[in-house]
Amino acid sequence: GHLLEKHRMTLADLESDVVLVARDLLPSDMISMNRARVKAVVTEAGGRTSHVAILARAFEIPAVLGVADALSRLRGSSLVAVDGAKGLVIGDPDAATLTRSAAARDAAAAAERELGALRDLPAETIDGLRVKVEANIEMPEEALGVLAHGADGIGLFRSEFLFLGGHVPDEEEQFHAYRSVIEAMGGRTVTIRTLDIGGDKVLPELGAQDEKNPLLGWRAIRFCLSRVDVFKTQLRAILRAAAFGETRVMFPMIATADELERALAILETAREECAAAGQQVAKSLSVGIMIEIPSAAMTSDILARKADFFSIGTNDLIQYTMAVDRGNEKVAYLHEPYHPAVLRLVQRTIESGKAAGIPVGMCGEMAADPASAIVLLGLGLDEFSMSSAAVPAVKRAIRSIGIEEARAVAK
């Protein structure tokens, strides 16, 4: 662009309201686009749990992914109706469709207002078993939405999105970002996941390039254990921010106990470095891991000896159990939370956590489905974490049932 002296239009430059239709988008496109102008997103690639879908939910932008030939079929449409809940995309809707769309939108808004009444009520079964319903966030500014939707805290802060907006934040910037979220939550727990880059979240600035098998490659904790400089910088920022409120840290993509031990050792070094520099850090910090690789679920009894809590990441756990790329629309039917293999891994993880006396949560999309929430409650899950907008409906599901009935459903 510079050489040709041409201005390349980016999604940040959008000046009028649009429905964004693309073959595929990157998570970084979602971060950098002018969100106020994007009324809906439609892509040919991707699935329910790809990071573009997760970000669309976080930003409360209706989205439908995996629409075959969307570009050619919508080319020339001047108006597009999108129903993210039903997965409908209609080019040039006629008057009757427009009326129906408007009515559906109003009904959804009314249902949301009704759910708003649950905001200050606990996530508790009718016979008094209390669990936590927390929120997933990607950007610090989402903390307000977490409170508005009545979440008990933040069960997953996907910290890598701070890095994907075109600038790699240093320790001070990270510290301020984490601290702002922790303070905004006013005493509710904030669970910060350490960098999960690699895979579809490429970050060439840090050497996390596209790879031949990105989802099986140099991602998350694997990246951090070999880029100790990057990892320790983040851990110091988290330790310092944790002095300002209830904070937990968790490591993504743990596959072996050895990885967990190495990560814990680096955390200790980071703590010592902060102390040597005279920086104030949290006195104690709960350290957990994501269970999102079958090897971790199968050895969760061993991992539980070294972890303070588990959080099950079903988006990846299903991907790696079923051998299905979570972003590939052609095989999306295999990304199935109710497959017995997935349920058994979830059950095993919860049982290992219970035996070790540590809490077990879930921050994958499965936890956001009210029907699944009943099953998970019955299996003994302690903490549910999801995009903020999904919190009220899951709370309602939990408040609608007794624990014995939930156990029967699970069985």
Q: Which is nearer to ligand PEP, 43 or 315 (CB)?
A: 315
Q: 234, 225, 171: which is closest to 198 by C-alpha?
A: 225
Q: How far is the CB of 382 from Mg ion (least distance, A)?
A: 19
Binder to ligand PEP among 61, 151, 197, 363 (CB under 6 A)? 363
Strands 153-158 and 132-137: parallel
Q: How far is the CB of 252 from Mg ion (least distance, A)?
A: 6
Q: Which does 188 bind (CB under 5 to 8 A by kind): ligand PEP, Mg ion, none?
A: none
Does position 29 bind Mg ion by CB under 5 A? no
Q: How far is the CB of 177 from ligand PEP (least distance, A)?
A: 17
Scored b (16 or more CB within 10 A) or e, 257-283 reads bebbebbeebbeebbebbeeeeeebbe
Candidates 43-51, 159-167, 313-321, 352-360; binding stretch for Mg ion (CB under 5 A):
313-321
Q: 217, 201, 209, 211: which is closest to 162 by C-alpha?
A: 201
Q: Which residue's structure tokens are 């989802």?
A: 215
What residues have CB less than 8 Å from 94, skipping those under 6 apart?
none
Does position 159 bind ligand PEP by CB under 6 A? no
Does position 314 bind ligand PEP by CB under 6 A? yes
Q: Which does 314 bind (CB under 5 to 8 A by kind): Mg ion, ligand PEP, none?
A: ligand PEP
- Compute how many residues bind ligand PEP; rule: CB under 6 A: 11
Tell me how far apart the 2 most distant CA atoms of the chain are, in Å: 69
Contact string 51-70 vs ligand PEP (x = CB under 6 A): ---x----------------
The answer to whether 363 is a known catalytic residue is yes
The answer to whether 51 is a known catalytic residue is yes
Binder to ligand PEP among 149, 158, 236, 248 (CB under 6 A)? 158
Q: Which of 2, 7, 51, 167 is catalytic?
A: 51
Please report the beta strands in 55-141, taking only residues with DSSP state E, as ranges in sequence order.
63-64, 80-83, 88-91, 132-137
Binder to ligand PEP among 313, 353, 359, 361 (CB under 6 A)? 313
Q: Which is nearer to Mg ion, 179 or 193 (CB)?
A: 193
Candidates 97-105, 162-170, 312-320, 396-404; binding stretch for ligand PEP (CB under 6 A):
312-320
CB-CB contact of 241 with 182 (8 Å)? yes
Q: Which is nearer to Mg ion, 81 or 360 (CB)?
A: 360
Q: Which of 224, 274, 335, 363 is catalytic?
A: 363
Does position 292 bind ligand PEP by CB under 6 A? yes
Binder to ligand PEP among 327, 361, 364, 380 (CB under 6 A)? 364
Does position 365 bind Mg ion by CB under 5 A? no
CA distance 171 to 153: 24
Q: 286, 283, 294: which is closest to 383 by C-alpha?
A: 286
* Phi–psi pair at 285, nearest 5 degrees: -140, 125
Q: Which residue's structure tokens are 């006629």?
A: 94
Does position 316 bind Mg ion by CB under 5 A? yes
Q: Which is nearer to Mg ion, 175 or 223 (CB)?
A: 223
Does position 315 bind ligand PEP by CB under 6 A? yes
Contact string 240-279 vs Mg ion (x = CB under 5 A): ----------------------------------------
Q: Which does 134 bind (CB under 5 to 8 A by kind): Mg ion, ligand PEP, none?
A: none
* Phi–psi pair at 334, nearest 5 degrees: -85, -10
Within 10 angstroms of residue 327's Cβ, the number of other Cβ atoms is 25
Binder to Mg ion among 27, 62, 313, 380 (CB under 5 A)? 313
- DSSP for 95-114 reads HHHHHHHHHHHHHHHHHHHH
CA distance 345 to 348: 5
What residues have CB less than 8 Å from 374, skipping those under 6 apart?
397, 398, 401, 406, 409, 410
Distance linking the first and last C-alpha atoms of the chain: 60
Strand partners, 289: 251, 310
Does position 191 bind ligand PEP by CB under 6 A? no
Given the rule CB under 6 A, which residues bind ligand PEP?
Answer: 54, 156, 158, 196, 292, 313-316, 363-364
Given the rule CB under 5 A, which residues bind Mg ion?
Answer: 292, 313, 316
Annotated catalytic sites, by residue?
51, 363
